[in-house]
Chain A
Amino acid sequence: LQLDFWLAPRGLGHPVDIRVPFPSLQPLKAHLEANGISYSIMIEDVQTLVDDEQMEMLRGRRGLPVSTNTFDYATYHSLDEIYTFMDLLVAENPNLVSKLEIGRSTENRPLYVLKFSKGGTNRPAIWIDTGIHSREWVTQASGVWFAKKIVQDHENNEGVASILDKMDIFLEIVTNPDGFVFTQTQNRMWRKTRSRRSGSVCVGVDPNRNWDAGFGGPGASGNACSETYHGPYANSEPEVKSIVDFVKSHGNIKAFISIHSYSQLLLYPYGYTTTPVPDQKELHEISEKAVAALSSLYGTNYKYGSIITTIYQASGGTIDWTYNQGIKYSFTFELRDTGRYGFLLPAKQIVPTAQETWLALKVIMQYTLDHPY
């Protein structure tokens, strides 16, 4: 019969596993039944599994992901792998996810935003970005996880079903691709963009000081060699300008969340001035709820408050600009940890970080849905 024992006979009372060639199936079944030996089918067709594995291995050898279901969310990926992931996600879910190119980086890399939408035209929307500071690797990795999570949960009510029924979600996973590639090839601690300016040997502008909100004021540096260099003028960086253009032309973004690491903080505007925002009380209450949800999962401790009172004065920041544009629910996260690993967060913390952060994001998104303006 050419039976291939994968779990060999050991003695009475011990099961055996057998791979059975097709022609032998009937005779074997007849034999087992005639002798009152019970059996169950563990794998219907081994060949299918072998074929899948072959395909996986061939593509895996090129290093690129094959499907978002076999993608490893618990490790850090290259830019190519993340861009491939995006295309896979769109291909697997064409009715929910699309990919937009909102511009090009200094080194001419495409800037991609994933749009999650169940339809409508220009619905009120939520914007989430990760990776604006390239060394903050847990953020891009969490962005990838969020993308998959939205797809997994888009029909379920504990997920984002009710949010997506009325609103769209925009997610920019690698907001600073030039910086990201630089962290993988040259300097793991690179933060800024990679723009060059004549007159300086130093490269890059801090994309979170380049926005037109208190631009150039205290809380940013005018020195091109500094990590917080604001750039020659507001929106000088294409990575920033493309988001500005997108937000302005969309015109209907209702919540804007920019994600950083590390410090474990949830922040709302302002960073450039001590003057509290008019909606301070409301933003503070939302933050309290969001942080409670986040902590409920693994007990991770977060502080929250305005940028300037909680972290430091910072001018030209993203959410100061978005708030001043009228996007009331503007928040910044600083994810894990508080300094033990800092930017070098072990990969095994990616998924727990993403999971807990997602709970906080859902609070903000749900609140935005429930409080239209």
Chain B
Amino acid sequence: DIDDVGHKYYLELELEDVLDKDSTVNCTAEVLYHLGNKNIAPDVQFTLEGELKNTDEADNIFYNRVKSLEKELVAENIPDSHGNVPPEMEPIHLLAWVASGYVIWQNSTENTKFQLAQIKHVKQVKRTDEYLEFDYMILLHDMVSQEIIPWQMTVLWHPQHGVQVTQDSRQPKHASG
């Protein structure tokens, strides 16, 4: 507890590569949840003790594949009801994970526990510059309230410039289902 400021947490984490279970990196972090104003994202400081794997090759393959598509990429329900993700959609899925991480961070309090539940819809938006742009409609699951929250996010990505969420907004839930 930090009087008049908020609650600070000191974390020791082990990061595990989702694509390679044996590849782990230790990490220490400090998270400060601000008192009062719940509209400010928590402050996060972290130190990686080691290096993250280099993914340039896979990134470039994906980048070139999408750049060379004739029609804009469109997809729905990733994973599908049975948990399937078509292999060619896996990078789209991973990109959504990263981008939703940003959205989750910006909207987290000590009383939320968000996970990306599903990509309902994703559409590529063609750009004249070198970036790839995707318009996602995702579902976030908040473990604490058990709510499924639709969220729109616009994601920019480039292999060398990384991920940016340029726009995001919470969507209204449907009443009867």
Contact = CB atoms under 8 A, between A and B. Distances in A.
Decide whether A and B are members of one complex: yes
Contact of B83 (A203, A206, A339, A346): A346
Interface residues of B, number: 23
Given A190-B177, A345-B83, A346-B83, A263 B148 contact: no
B177 A186 contact: yes
Contacts of A96: none
B148 A189 contact: yes
A75 B82 contact: yes
Contact of B79 (A187, A339, A341): A341
Contacts of A186: 177
A342 B140 CA distance: 11
Contacts of B118: 188-189, 344
B117 A312 contact: no
Contacts of B74: none
A339 to B, nearest CB: 4
Nearest to A312: B144
Interface residues of A, number: 33
Contacts of B84: 346-347
Interface stretch (A7-15, A36-44, A221-229, A323-331): A221-229
Contacts of A75: 82
Instruction: Name the prevailing secondary structure of the B interface residues.
Output: loop
A340 interface: yes
A227 B83 contact: no
A353 to B, nearest CB: 12
Given A189-B117, A202-B175, A349 B83 contact: yes
A160 B127 CA distance: 62
Contact of A225 (B79, B141, B148, B175): B175
A189 B139 contact: yes
B115 interface: yes
B145 A226 contact: yes
B143 interface: yes
A343 B144 contact: no
A343 B177 contact: no
A191 interface: yes
A137 B84 CA distance: 14
A36 to B, nearest CB: 53
B176 A343 contact: no
A76 interface: yes
B83 A347 contact: yes
A159 B129 CA distance: 64
Interface in A184-237: 184, 186-191, 201-204, 206, 225-228
B43 interface: no
Nearest to B115: A339
A178 B81 CA distance: 17
B145 A340 contact: no
A341 B18 CA distance: 12
Contacts of B141: 189, 342-343
Contacts of B146: 191, 206, 227-228
B147 interface: yes
Given A201-B176, A202-B176, A342 B144 contact: no
Interface string B73-94: 0000001111110000000000
Given A75-B82, A204-B177, 6 more contacts: A184-B81, A189-B118, A189-B141, A228-B145, A312-B144, A343-B141
10 contacts: A76-B82, A137-B81, A189-B141, A190-B177, A203-B177, A227-B145, A342-B117, A342-B141, A343-B141, A344-B117
